[in-house]
Amino acid sequence: MSKDNVDLICDIGELAGLFERTQSLSDFLQKVVSIIAYHMKAAVCSVYLFDDETQEVVLRATQGLNPDFVGKTRLKLGEGIVGQALAEFRAIREAKGSQNPHFKLIQGLQEEQYNAFLAAPLVRGLTRVGVITVQDPVPNYFSENDEKALRAIAAQLASTIENAKLLMNLHSTTAYAGGKAPVVEGELKFVKGGVASGGLAYGRAAIMGHLDIHEFSQAKSAHSMADFERALAKTENQLEDLQRQLAERMADVASLIFNAHLLMLKDSEFSGMMMRRIKSGLTPAAAVIEVVNQYVNLFAASTNALLREKTQDVKDLGHRILHNLFEKDMGTADYEGHVVIARSLLPSDIVKLVVQRAAGLVLGGGGGITSHVAILARSLQLPMVVVRDPRILDVPENTMILMDGDQGNVMVNPAAEVVKKYDSLKEARHRAEELEADVQPATATRDGVRVRLLANINLLSDLKVAKRLKAEGVGLYRSELPFIVRNDFPSEEEQYRIYRTLVEEMAGKEVVFRTLDIGGDKMLSYFPNINEANPFLGLRAIRFSLRHKDIFTQQLRALLRAGAGSHIRIMFPLVASVDDFVQARSIVAECANSLRAEGIAFCADAELGVMIELPSAVEIADELAQEADFLCIGTNDLIQYILAVDRTNEQIADLYVPYHPAVLRSLKRIAAAAEKHSTDLSICGDMATDTRIIPFLLGIGIRVLSLDSMRIPRVQKRIAELNITECRKTASALVAMSRLSEIEAFLQKGR
């Protein structure tokens, strides 16, 4: 019997459509099993969720089995075919499920009549979420293509189902009263905070706050159940609109922010609890306040970091519902030119502040520097500092505030000389912006030698600046950013959409994707904590990917799919040996063969390169240049590993010297190896923007620089002043020097 093709089945991954057709979490899961059963033409489809505390999988939705067993059927991890699939992180397909040695018959579940059995684990990275199963009376009913299709479905649904699972687990959590922030005495003049979003801001303070929930509780309310339902519907429409708007602007991170809001809104234990309390006699406002406060306590008390982070989501929902219930205007404040101070912040507020042209944001008492609001602030270029000193919240309105988002400094009523320094910095930035008009589409030295300037891209929102400043392509896409900013591993489908957008936006231009580079100072909050004495020398970058092939494979498949019809480059970070590269290349080949067998379009001629960041890679640069399609020098890590200087350690910052003789000679050696084998070579990192060292880089033969887009005007101007013959002489002279003092004097003279 024919079944729908994989592409059609994978369409259920469009979660926004599922949200709009469901009324609760249970309804959502039921809709999932119904759609899968329909597309797979299977008699049975079920979803089991993993209970982290009991280490059991629990039946949460089913079509075809006894519905009375939902919530009651439990299997230990490794028990039954379902438990085995999740324990081993693999799909299991059986012609007759009862013949599998792990099969467990549960009396009353009514699965005796079904033979064919197919189970696919729901996994977010290395986190177990649950299992999707399909069953049918016909033996050997499910094919290899069906197995691939169900795996694809599981990958797409894992993120949203994980959110659903977290909310379901909340319902049995007990309340908790959190502690208070420390009180600091004395007048506040200066406070050191955490850097959340870079930039400078100077303006009058504006204390931002939603209408206090206490005001709603004191307000006289004559609202009815119909008013409450109208407020819920309006809230849902607002969230869906925000999700769509942000998805257009920042598809790589922001499109997921409101998923949790929508799931919660549809949760029968959230809005349903409010309705029940209204029916028992509470006013709608009082019911909203009680339930919101209960959930805030539940989230805050949870031992699960993901749940604690959702405290802001439930506050957002509560305020939105109340605003809509009382029909209050949510956008009357005007923050143009102000430094906004807030106790806590909602993701939607960031967009509001940017639209109203706020100068900067100081967040006191809520949210960490890795929270969604900080990521949004960075993406929208809103300077932001997070401070713990509670006195910042008592600063009077219209007090002059100077904040430095690059350093995390906040100054209250700063002295005139401090403001003057700020003005000079601001003027320098303004002059840099004026250079944009003079940026040429092609960069060349004074004697006409072409040098290509490519952009480093962190988030898709960076593309706008890159294109405006005429970057000739993307020399480094840091693919770990969508991993770092989320609460779990993005699925293959989520990654594909991000990478595809990047390819389409830079149509016809070079795009270099660096595979996942985590570890060192870039950790994943949701990944099991690895206690490493020195994480910079630990399980990071390509080592992590090769150790966790399932995660690596998902990324590579997404990259190859995104490159269909185009030409892309894939670069492996922190390669220490030829073996590292060859092993990674073989996994790319496996992914290509798999996509070809599945009939999925992909880039069959993607070029594979090495990022040289280790002394060991410098020693074998000749062999790497032979094996790889291209090389890229990652100077930031290369310098710290050559000099044994942790670049994040402020105590030894002065020892991190880019022009150290060992560094310069290493760069020369790499460039010579690339030239010998006619292998493309580029350089990225801070050295690519150091105008003192650019002559040396050009002198050793480097012709491609990858840098932050905002640096392009200055670097292009510097290159236009240079002559290649003189650059070669400079390079020869610097490589021959052995003392830092000698090199410093030479560079100072050449400025």
Contacts of 395 (CB under 8 A, 6+ apart): 188, 205, 207, 341, 401, 412
Q: Which of the following CATH numbers is that of domain 190-194+332-431: 1.20.1290.10, 3.60.20.10, 3.30.70.3290, 3.50.30.10? A: 3.50.30.10
Domain with CATH 3.20.20.60 in the chain: 440-750
Domain with CATH 1.10.274.10 in the chain: 212-325
CB of 682 within 8 A of CB of 702? yes
Per residue in 497-529, pLDDT (tens digit) is: 889 989 999 988 999 999 988 765 555 554 555
Look up the CATH superfamily of 212-325: PtsI, HPr-binding domain (1.10.274.10)
DSSP string, 356-367: TT--EEEEESS-
Fold type of domain 440-750? TIM Barrel (3.20.20)
Positive/negative CA dihedral, 128, 484, 380, 193: positive
**What pTM did the predictor assign?**
0.61
Specify the 3-state DSSP secondary structure of 441. coil
Task: Look at residue 387 and tell me whether its pLDDT is greater than 80.
Answer: yes
- Average the pLDDT over 40-48 and give the result: 93
Beta bridge partners of 363: 342, 386
Strands of the sheet containing 116-124, edge to edge, are 74-76, 56-63, 44-51, 127-136, 116-124, 92-94
184 or 95, which is more confident = 95
Task: Look at residue 215 and tell me whether its pLDDT is greater than 50.
Answer: yes
Give the whole-number percent of the chain exceeding pLDDT 90.
Answer: 40
DSSP 547: H
pLDDT for residue 297 = 82
Domain with CATH 3.30.450.40 in the chain: 6-170
CA dist., res. 716 & res. 620, Å (int): 32
Task: Look at residue 175 and tell me whether its pLDDT is greater than 50.
Answer: no
Which range in 116-125, 290-299, 521-530, 649-658 is most confidently predicted, on average pLDDT? 116-125
State the pairing for strand pair 443-444/450-457.
antiparallel
- Average the pLDDT over 74-102 and give the result: 92
What confidence category does residue 1 fall into, taking pLDDT thresholds of 50, 70 and 90?
very low
Contacts of 424 (CB under 8 A, 6+ apart): none
Task: Look at residue 568 and tell me whether its pLDDT is greater than 80.
Answer: yes
- Average the pLDDT over 2-21 and give the result: 46
CA dist., res. 226 & res. 423, Å (int): 55
Q: 692-722 burial, b if ≥16 CB within 10 A, otherwise e?
A: bbbbbbbbbbbbbbbbbbbbbbebbebbeeb
Residue whose token pair is 């967009």: 351
Domain with CATH 3.50.30.10 in the chain: 190-194+332-431
What confidence category does residue 181 fall into, taking pLDDT thresholds of 50, 70 and 90?
very low
Contacts of 669 (CB under 8 A, 6+ apart): 618, 621
Contacts of 307 (CB under 8 A, 6+ apart): 166, 169, 170, 298, 299
Per residue in 426-435, pLDDT (tens digit) is: 665 565 566 6
Task: Look at residue 329 and tell me whether its pLDDT is greater than 70.
Answer: no
Contacts of 321 (CB under 8 A, 6+ apart): 231, 232, 235, 288
Amino acid sitting at position 24: S
Residue whose token pair is 């003279």: 749
Per residue in 290-318, pLDDT (tens digit) is: 888 888 887 777 766 666 666 767 777 88
CB of 382 within 8 A of CB of 353? yes
Task: Look at residue 46 and tell me whether its pLDDT is greater than 70.
Answer: yes
Give the catalytic positions in this structure.
372, 684
CA dist., res. 586 & res. 545, Å (int): 13
pLDDT for residue 3 = 46
CA dist., res. 48 & res. 130, Å (int): 5
Domain 6-170 - what CATH class? alpha beta
